Structure 1
Amino acid sequence: MTKTLTLFSAATLALLTLSGKAQTTSTYSWNNLPKIAQPTFRKDTINILAHGAKADGVTLNTKAINTAIAACSQKGGGVVLVPSGLWMTGPIELKSNVNLHVKKAATLLFTTDKSQYALVEGVYEGKRAARNQSPISGTNLENVAITGQGILDGNGDVWRAVNKGQLTESQWKEKVASGGVLKDDGKVWYPSEQFKKASVDGRSMLLTPGKTPQDFADMKDFLRPNLVVFTNCKKVLLDGVTFQNSPAWCLHPLMCQDLTIRNVTTKNPEYAHNGDGMDIESCKNFLIEGCTLDVGDDAICIKSGKDEEGRKRGMPTENGVIRNNTVYNGHGGFVIGSEMSGGARNIFVYNCTFMGTDKGLRFKSVRGRGGVVEHIYAKDIFMKDIAGEAIFFDMYYFVKFATDGQRDERPVVNEGTPIFRDMKFENIVCNGAEKGVFIRGLSEMPIKNITLKNLTLKTDKGVELTDASGIHLENVQLITKETKPVIFVDNSHNLTFDGIQYNANADLLFDINGERSQDIRVTNTDTTKAQTKAAFNKGAVEKQLMLSAAK
């Protein structure tokens, strides 16, 4: 046992030295939040009507809108006005110093004619890939915005496949009647035969050396675009607009600096594959506030590239404030990962409500990603009817376990080892979830130094900690349906449980497992309420649990 710990320490130190990601201290705090610079625009306004746009829902206004944007930018910038009406259009390319203002009762409806969207080099889940051109995009811009109270609709249903089980019977019949083709077993609808072939054959969209986007012309229908993509832009503002029905992710700012997303609504159907709300990737200095999200995948998600490509990019998502947002459907309210190979740090999340999401605060990665996620702070988070876990860390994202339940144990630390550490969550309430807290690190790299303070969690199950270190729970109320056990520990060490409240007459308070479960301290907790205080299994020993009398 001693030898294992010695090797672990040396390997970790070597990794941190090699990668240049030594332990850091955040320069931010709740009293000193990151500051985000805002764009400014001239008051000059160009109405798209002046360039021949027609709000009849039929005329393709691509040229008129892009001409107005280009003219505005060339004159030094200002506002391009989209007045009330239904405006059919193809891809729109934004320019520096332009505020595209979409008035209330105005809808930009993006055409279902896929030939209007060029094959371009883009990014798919953190890696270079062939994509169709996004309905709205901008690259290497400064001072750019989309504002107003209008709607941008990506017409995403013509791009997405859908499983029969995700729809009601009437929805499925309507989908089949709309065109497209079915999988041979009749259980999946595809937009086209080309899409079906690429999907069934498992074709990759990644741009490997020597490949160009044009090499993917035979699977063009399969290369779904994100609705809005800003790449390497500075001073970006999205304010007030509804972004909906995207072919893939709704909002994707990539390698941007000084980004503000305010009072925005993102909507995707629950069945929308990759139907994320907003994915903030390798961005620095960002504010997300007052937004409402109801989507088909992760809601507010932090990313920074995937695997070696993300590590080589080396751009963490950092210095962010996320506040006063409401999330309805989604695979997580606030999410980091799994493509976080460039790291994430200095992010503050507060005054957010999650209603019916799959998970609440969700952190995910896997061996091979690498990257350091640290200095993440959350407080005043309110959740209701969470399908899975309220607070969730898992370093086994999409890993299938052996049938005997044993995890894949490969205690090798290298540049592909993800590191999650140094976070504090406080003042969190959850009424309804499968599990309150779930933390599962790697045997070679535990999740470290997480403080959970002032929590009230009404859930089916309580707390589960596996391969975790330096976890501190303080003033936590666990109201659980299952009480055998209330708290499960597996191969975790340096744990503190201070002021834990739980159901009277609980069957078992602590279930301690594994020989690496050590230094577990319980203070200010009445352990006599449980029928059994603790059980020790799989090499765990009783002396490692230290109980102090309740005050």
Structure 2
Amino acid sequence: MTRKETFLVYTFKQVILSVHKESCMPLRQVHCSVLLLSLLVAHVSAATDPITQDLLSTRYAVTVDGKPVTVYSYEDMDYITFPWQGKAKINVTRLDAKPITETRIRPVRLGITSQIKQANLSFEMDAPRHLVINIDLMRKLVIVPQLPDPDFPDLNNKSVINVKNIGADSTGKRDNTQLLQQAIDGLPTGGTLYFPAGHYRTGSLELKSDMTLYVDRHTLIKGSDNFKLHKFRGSYLYFIRAENQQNIRILGHGMIDANGGPIRRAWEVEKAKRKVAGRCFLTVNVKNLTIKNTTFRESYSWNMHFVATDNLHLDRIKVFSSMTNSNGDGLDIDGCHDVLVENCLIFAEDDAITPKGAWLKDQRRDARNFVIRDCVLWSQMATGIRLGAETHSAEFANMTFENIDFLRANTMIRIYNYDGADIHDIVFKNLWVEEYTLYVQDLGFDEIERVKKKRDQGQTYFFYVYYRKRTPESQVGLVRDVLIENIHADRVVKSKLFGMDRPDGQKSVSNITFKNYIVNGKCITDPKALKISSEGNAELATVICE
């Protein structure tokens, strides 16, 4: 079923539920059916944004400081964006007019208080944080404030090319692939390709050195429906790619959508393959890449894959992974040096953030010097942060993950070492754990379910170190000098350290420290109470409170 078909089915269900039984009881069945159909048509006819053609919510109306804002709908979420101008008062109304009985404003640790009055929820924001609102068992509502952009281009500068001025179609009715690629190729050094508000359809695009792609507010760059306009690098599809380039920026509060689900399925039919994977955004051997504010959505599988991309800076980006396409990682950071990821909001079908060494098997390029901070993570089926399992690197070293809100994951942190890397000097600091998939999957949330297979206890961990030799020739590496500090949780979920034997007799897992593991306000030092275990060639973990 396509995303739009899913939406229409859901809309029809909502219409039926919103009609009181009394409305149909006095009518003959045929008349009741006509009433329901007319209501459905009324809902669907107003269900898309006039500029981007994005689906609109049938569940919520939202105002910010008393002014209505558009509420969009995408798969298992509704969301709003609005320009941040200081403190904001948010009011959310259930369109079915049913009284609100329960709500959570997340991250919960922020302590944002709310007022409920019948079908209305109101609260104030004093900082431009990404929020997720749960109301009863309805679909989650995501709040995305947009900061003023000091990098907005000077549209009078001759090096700034407005795509509408060169003939690009902004209605979503015509393909722009050739025109846009020619515009990129023709940009002067330091030039900017600017997309004003609109809906731009295109096939795969290649970026070049010393350029800026600026995607303005209320702008959607979306993959063409013609699957043959989506190109491959080897066996992987890509929507936007840069390879062997430098000094690239992607800026602006707009959205880049690969249209990945339909394209992937079309290529699977064309190639007669079970799975055709791809990337919404792919970089290989790139230096000095900055991406700020932009939203990336609907990849073929992995959403953003950075390979050998050094001096990488991601700030306030959003990733909305399809929950109906498999292998929907958020950020895959592969053999990169000097990485800063901050203030990001990641909704992933699979792992949310995953440093790895996957594509450069011959080089075994190190992954080192990462700072990932102040991020909100949601992994629907898998892990919040996973190092590996692809570890075709000599080292994973000097990585810090701090101020992380795990809104949902089945395991919060995994370190998988399959290819012999030395993984060391890794810090996870200031972690807030809210929800394990295992414990919420049967509560009836209005969320699209990709598979019927449920998560179980055997798949659920807070922290998990695991080894496997990818091939008989693979070496057994090391996982050492790892600090997990200032963990805040409302329940104890098991952690496990598993190691394999090494020819030199050294412990393959050593010096793992849990510091200030706080459960429901109490710091716990007993490994058994925290369900921390060690197996195989793994040293026991140290647990301390300070």
Report the TM-score range of the alignment, normalised by the length of the smaller protein: 0.5 to 0.7
Aligned length: 365
- Residues 6-31 of structure 1: per-residue CA shift (max 9 Å, x gap): xxxxxxxxxxxxxxxxxxxxxxxxxx
Residue 425 of structure 1 pairs with residue 487 of structure 2 = no
Deviations 1:119-164 (A, max 9, x none): 433xxxxxxxx233x1100111111011100011111221456xxx
Q: 1:491 to 1:298 in 2, by over 3 A?
A: closer
Query: What does 1:27-426 align with in structure 2 at a 5 Å threshold?
Result: 44-72=159-187, 75-121=188-234, 130-132=235-237, 134-160=238-264, 193-194=269-270, 197-199=272-274, 222-305=275-358, 310=361, 312-330=362-380, 331-342=382-393, 343-366=395-418, 369-387=419-437, 388-396=460-468, 416-426=475-485
> What's the RMSD between the two structures over aligned residues?
3.1
Cα 1:108–1:256 shift into 2, 3 Å: same
Report the CA distance between 1:236 and its aligned residue. 0.2
Query: Could you tell me which of 515, 526, 535 is aligned with 1:453?
Result: 515
Aligned mates of 2:337, 2:510 — CA distance in 1: 24
- Cross-structure match for 2:21: none
Structure 1 residue 438 and structure 2 residue 496: aligned? yes
Structure 1 residues 496 and 333: alpha-carbon distance in aligned structure 2, compared to 1, 3 A threshold: closer
Contact kept? 2:424, 2:482, Cα under 8 Å: yes
For 1:359, the aligned partner's letter is T
TM-score w.r.t. length of structure 1? 0.61
User: Quick one: structure 1 residues 151 and 421, their matched pair in 2 at CA, closer, same or farther if it must change by over 3 Å?
Assistant: same
1:371 partner amino acid: A
1:361 Cα deviation after fit: 1.6
Deviation at 1:85? 0.5
Distance 1:302 1:60, change over 3 A: same
C-alpha displacement at 1:280, in angstroms? Answer: 0.4
1:381-435 deviations in Å (ceiling 9; x for gaps): 1111123211121214999xxxxxxxxxxxx9x75213211111111112246x2
Letter in 1 for 2:379: N
- The amino acid that maps onto 1:384 is E
Provide, for residues 214-271 of structure 1, a one-character-per-residue CA deviation record: whole Å limited to 9, x for no partner.
xxxxxxxx53321111111110011101101000111111111100111000011234
Deviation at 1:360, TM superposition (A): 0.9
Report SS of the residue matched to 1:141: strand
Note the C-alpha offset of 1:95. Answer: 1.2
Change in Cα spacing, 1:370 to 1:192, as seen in structure 2 (3 Å) is closer
Alpha carbons of 1:116 and 1:375: their partners in 2 closer, same or farther (altered >3 Å)?
same
- Separation in 2, partners of 1:497, 1:475: 14
The SS at the match of 2:174 is coil
Question: What is the identity percentage for the equivalent residue pairs of Structure 1 and Structure 2?
Answer: 22
Distance 1:91 1:302, change over 3 A: same
Indicate conservation of the 8 Å contact 2:497/2:534, yes or no.
no
- 1:68: Cα distance to partner? 2.0
5+ residue gaps, structure 1, are: 1-38, 122-129, 162-179, 181-190, 200-221, 400-411, 460-473, 501-523, 525-551
Kept in 2: contact 1:457–1:477 (CA 8 A): no
Instruction: Between 440-449 and 75-84, report the one with greater CA deviation.
Output: 440-449
CA contact (8 A) 2:264 2:276 kept: no
SS of residue paired to 1:231: strand
**What is the alpha-carbon distance in structure 2 between the residues aligned to residue 281 and residue 372 of structure 1?**
15
Alpha carbons 1:385, 1:431 under 8 Å: kept: no
Q: What is the alpha-carbon distance in structure 1 between the residues aligned to residue 340 and residue 387 of structure 2?
A: 16
Runs of at least 5 residues in structure 2 that lack an aligned partner in the other structure? 1-150, 438-459
Find the aligned partners of 2:196 and 2:407 in 1 and give their Cα distance. Answer: 34
Partner residue, 2:524: 476
Alpha-carbon deviation of 1:293?
Answer: 0.6
TM-score by length of 2: 0.61
- Tell me the distance in 2 between the aligned counterparts of 1:102 and 1:41: 11
> How far is 1:495 from its partner?
3.8
Describe the SS at the equivalent of 1:96.
Answer: coil
